[in-house]
Structure 1
Amino acid sequence: MADSTPLLSELNLADSEPPVLHTHLPSLDSTIERCIGDFGWAQFLQAILVSFSWFFDAQQTFITVFTDAEPTWHCTQLTDRHSSCNSASNICQLPQNLWAWDRPKYTSTVSEWALECSSSLVTGLPASAFFMGCLIGGLALATLADTSLGRKNMLFLSCLMMSLSTFLTAFSTNIWMYSALRFITGFGRATIGTSALVLSTELVGRRWRGQVGVIGFFCFTLGFLSLPAIAYSQRAHSWRSLYIWTSIPTFLYSITVHFLVRESPRWLFVRGRKEDAIATLKCIAPIDSATTKTPFTSSFISSLSLEQETWNVDLYSSISVLVERRWAFRRLSAVMAIGFGTGMVYYGMPLALGSLNFNLYLSVTFNALSELPASLIAFFFIDQMNRENVTPCFHQPLWDLQHYVCAERDESNMDKITNWVRACVFFQRLLSVQCLAYIYD
C-alpha cells in the first residue's frame, strides 16, 4: 500500500497558504487629492504667495510704456513771429534751438539718447527684444520645471533673473545695451506664469483649481495697475529709477519664494523624493482632515508603488507626451492659435497708448481697471463655463472691437476709441482665462 503522507502534507500545505489577492493600489493623483482634502488656510496662503509672482511679471511686461515714452515738447521762441516752430511742427525738421522738452531729458530713454528722430525699428527695439526673450526663454526653459529644477526652483530662478537683469537695466548707457538687458529680462521671466499657475493649482484640491488659477490673473492686473502709480510718483526723476524701484521688491519676493513656498508634492513623488512629498502634504493639508498629521497618512502614502506612478522624465518628456496624445496636441494648437491673435491685441494696445492724444497715466490705469471685472467674473463662474463653447464667443467680439479701433483714425473720437480699447482688454482677459482653463481641464 502506498504511503499517503506526502499527499496529505501537500494538501495541508496548500490549505495553510492564503490565496493571493491582487489589491488595486490607489493612483498618485487620487492619493494626493485625498491627503489635501478641502481648501485650507495653508493652501490658500501658498497659492496667494505663488500667484503674486504675476504682480511683478506685469510690471516688467509693460514698464517700457513709461520709460520709452516720447516726452512732450514746446517751442522756445514763441515771441518770434518769423519762427517756424508751432505745435504741429515736426521736431526732426526744426533747429535744436527752437524747441525743448517739457521735462528733463533723463525722464525718458527717447529724450536722453536723442531717439526722437530715429525709426520705429530702433525706438521699438527694447520692447521687441523683451518679447523675443520671452519666446526663446519659453522654448528653452519650459521643460526644466518638469525635470531637474521643479516648479518652485524654476519660479525662484525666473524671478531672481528678472529682478537682477531689471536692476542692471537701470545702468544702461545706450539703446543697444538697454535692448540686450531687456532681452535677458524677457528670457528670465518667460516661465513665471506657467510655473506659478502649475504650482499653485497642484497645491490645492481639484475642486478649487479653477479659482486658484484665476488668482494669478488678478495679481497680474494689480501689478499692471501699480505701474502707472509708480511711474507718476517718479515722473520728475530718471527713467532708471522706475527699473530700480520695481527690481528691489522682485528680488525680495524671489528670496521669499525660496524659503517659504513648498514644492509640488506631485513633482516630488515623480522624482522619487517620497519623504519630501509627505512632509509637504502634512504641511499644506487642512488641519481638520482625517488623513492629515496621523501615522495613517505616512503609511498610506508609503504603500504607493512608485514604479506605477513615475515615468522617465527628461528634457523632452513633455514634448513626447504631446506627440503620443493627439488630443492634447490638438487642444494646445488651438489655444496657441487663439493666443497669438489675442496676444497682439492685449500687449499691442497698452504698448501703443503713448501714441494716443490722452494722458498716458490715466490711459494705462483705465486699461488695467478694465481687467478687474473680467477676473472677478472668471473667478466666480469659471466652473459653470463651458470652455470649448465659450472661447469662440469671446474671440469674435474681441476681433470685431480690434478692427474698429484700428480703423478709427479721427482724434475727435478719442474718448470713444479709449472705451473700445478697454472693451478689447476686457474680452481678452476673459478669453485668456478660458484658454488656460481649457488646457488644464
Structure 2
Amino acid sequence: MADPAPLLPHYNSSDALNQAGKKRPPSVDDGLESYIGGNGFCQFLQATFVTFAWVFDAQQTFINVFTDAEPSWHCTGAGNDTLCSSESTTCGLPPGSWAWDLPAHASVVSEWGLQCAGSAIVGLPASAYFAGCLVGGLLLATLADSILGRKKMLFLSCFTMSLSAGLTVVSPNLWAYTAFRFLSGFARATIGTSALVLSTEMVSKKWRERISIMSFFCFTLGFLSLPAIAYINRGASWRTLYLWTSIPSLIYSVLIYFLINESPRWLLVRGRREEAIQTLKSMNDSVINSSFSKLVVVEEASDINIFSALRILWKKRWALRRLTATMIAGFGLGMVYYGMPLNVGNLGSNLYLSVTFNALAEIPSSLVTLYLVAKLNRRSLALTCMTMSGVFSLLCVVVTAKQWQMAAEVISFFFACTSFNVILIYSIELFPTCVRNSAISMVRQAIVLGGVFAPLLVAEGRKRSFLSFGVFGLVISCCGLFTASLPETRGRSICDTMEEEEYREREASNATP
C-alpha cells in the first residue's frame, strides 16, 4: 500500500495564499481519509456506542412532561355537590369535595400541592433545567476543544447529569427539586455536542452523515422510552422515573471512560501525534500500518486555553457571521422543538399518546434527513423545513377540531425535528476541528435558549392558543431566514484549521464568475 499524503493539521495562511491556483495543501481530513479508508468494525462500534449518549440526553430533557404534569381529579361527593363539577377548578373547591385520580406522590404538582400555584411556579423546574443547559453550555463549551477533549468532556457531562438526576429523588420540596434540575441541565449541556462531534470525527467522510443520523435516532429512542416507562410506573412516585433513567445513564458514562478512544482529529490538531497514531491503529489496525513512521505533523502554534476557541470565533469575521446566523436559526428552532412536546397537554388529548406521537415523528424525520442531506443543499433544506414547521404551528391556532390540531402539531414537530438534524449536520461542516465543538455548543445553547422561553409560552397558551402555537410559528419562520446567509457545504470534506477553511472559501470565491 502506497504511503498516503502526510497530515498537516496546521499551516500558515500566507502559505495558503501563495498557492493560489495550485493544488490545495493536504489537510488532516485528507490524511485520515487515506489512512482510515473504509471503516473497521471496532471503529464503527465505538462511534455507534458514543451516539447512545443521546438516549439519556433525551430522557432528561423531556422527563418533566410526566413528572410535573397536573394529574386528573374527580369529585368525591362529600360536602356541597353543587360546587364540584367537571367544569370546576380545584382551587375554588372546599377540602374533601375532590380528590386526585392517582396517589398524590404520582406527580410533583399533586405531592406539593401546586395546583393553585401560578404558571411560573409550576413551570419553574422545567425552565430551570433549560437555564442550566444555557449556563453550562456557555461555561463548558470550550473545554472539549481546548483542555479536556471530546471523550473526557462526554464522560464528565454524562456522569454529572446522571448523578444529579439520581439525587433528584431525595428532593424535599420544590426549591430543592428545581436546584437539582438546574444542575442536571448544567451538566447535560455538552453531552449531545460532545457525542456528535466525537462520533463523526471517528469515521470517514462516507459514514459521517449516517453516524449523525444514528445520533438523532438514539435521541428518538430516548424520547420514545419515556412514555413507556411512565406508563409502566403510572401511579408510582414521580421519583421512580428519575431512578429508571439515571441508573442506566450512570453505568453508560463509566463504560464511556474505559471503552472509548479520544478523537484522533482533536489529538492531531493539539499536536499529540503519537496518541493519535495509537488511537487510529486501535480503531482500524488492518489499514493503519508502518507508513506512520513517515508522518509529518506540524503542531498548532497558538496558545491553548479554555477561551482560545471562542476568541478565535470572535476574531474571525466569517466565523462570527456563520455562528450568529446559525445561533439565531437555532433559537427559533429550539422554541418549537422543546415547546411542542410540552404544549401537547393544551390540546386536551391523552398525554401518553400525544407524547408518543411526537416521539414517533422523529423516526421518519431522521429517515427523511438521511435521504435529503444526500440530495439537497443544506441551506435550502434548513430554510424550507423551518418555514414549514412555522406554517403548521400557525395552523394549530386556525383549526378548531382537536384531531386536526393534533395532526398539525405533529407535522410541525416533524419539520422542527428535521430542521434540528439538518442544522447540526450543517454546523459540523461549517466550522473546522479546532473550534467545532465550541461552535456547535453555542448553536445548541441558542436552541436551549429557545427552550427556556417555551414553558412560559406553553403556560400562557392554556388561555390563548396564539400565545403558544402562534408565537412558535412566527419565531421559527423568521429565524429560519438567517440560514440563507450561510455558505453551502454539501459534498465537501470538513476542515481542521481556520486557515484551511479560509483558503477553501477563497478558492470558492475565485471560482465564482
TM (normalized to structure 1)?
0.88
Asked if 1 retains the 8 angstrom alpha-carbon contact of 2:198 and 2:262, the reply is: yes
Q: Provide the secondary structure at the position in 2 that maps to 1:236.
A: coil
CA 1:146–1:249 in structure 2 vs 1: closer, same or farther (change >3 Å)? same
1:419 paired with 2:407, answer: yes
Query: 2:101 is matched by which residue type in structure 1?
Result: D
What residue is the counterpart of 2:76 in the other structure? 76
Structure 2 partner of 1:5? none
Runs of 4+ in 1 over 4 A off after TM superposition: none
Give the distance between the partners of 1:320 and 1:330, measured in 2 at CA: 14
Counterpart residue identity of residue 33, structure 2: E
**Which residue in 2 is equivalent to 1:376?**
367
For the 8 Å contact 1:77–1:83, the answer to whether it is kept is no
Q: How does 1:74-113 map to 2 (within 5 A)?
A: 74-77=74-77, 82-113=81-112
Cα deviation, residue 355, structure 1:
3.0
Match of 1:403 in 2: 394
Question: Cα offset for 1:207?
Answer: 2.5
Return the alpha-carbon distance in structure 2 between the equivalents of residues 332 and 25 of structure 1: 26
Q: Is contact 2:271-2:297 (8 Å) kept?
A: no
Distance 2:177 2:239 in 1: 11
Equivalent position of 2:46 in the other structure: 46
Rounded Cα–Cα distance in structure 2 between residues aligned with 1:53 and 1:343: 20
After TM superposition, list the pairs within 5 Å mapping 1:221-232 onto structure 2. 221-232=220-231
SS of residue paired to 1:204: coil
- Partner of 1:191 in structure 2? 190
Q: Unaligned regions of 5+ residues in structure 1, if any? A: 1-23
> Partner residue of 1:391?
382
Query: How far apart are residue 346 of structure 1 and its match?
Result: 1.2
Deviations 1:157-209 (A, max 9, x none): 00000000000011101000000000000000000111011111110112321
The answer (yes or no) to whether the contact 1:33–1:206 under 8 Å persists in 2 is: yes
Q: Secondary structure at the match of 2:261?
A: coil
- Pairing 1:64–2:91 present: no
Deviations 1:326-363 (A, max 9, x none): 22222221121111112111111111223332111111
SS of the aligned residue for 2:146 comes to coil
User: How many angstroms does 1:30 deviate by?
Assistant: 2.4
- Tell me if the contact between 1:367 and 1:425 (Cα under 8 Å) persists in the aligned partners: yes
In structure 2, C-alpha distance between the alignment counterparts of 1:140 and 1:180, rounded to whole Å: 18
Instruction: Work out whether residues 197 and 428 of structure 2, in 8 Å CA contact, stay in contact via their aligned partners in 1.
Output: no
| Contact 1:36–1:286 (8 Å) recurs in 2 | no
Cα distance change of structure 1 residues 423 and 25 upon mapping to structure 2, 3 Å threshold: closer
Change (3 A) 1:207 1:321: farther
Contact preservation (8 Å) 1:130, 1:186: yes
Distance 1:81 1:110, change over 3 A: closer
TM-score, normalization: structure 2?
0.76
| Residues 129-144 of structure 1 mapped to structure 2, 5 A cutoff | 129-144=128-143
Contact 1:39 1:286 survives alignment (8 Å): no
- How far 1:74 moved relative to its partner? 0.3
Q: Does 1:318 align with 2:313?
A: no
1:212 aligns with 2:216: no
Is the 1:130–1:183 Cα contact (8 Å) retained in structure 2?
yes
Cα-Cα RMSD: 1.7
CA contact (8 A) 2:347 2:405 kept: no
- Partners of 2:322 and 2:420 in 1: CA distance: 14
Whole-angstrom distance in 2 between the partners of 1:229 and 1:393: 33
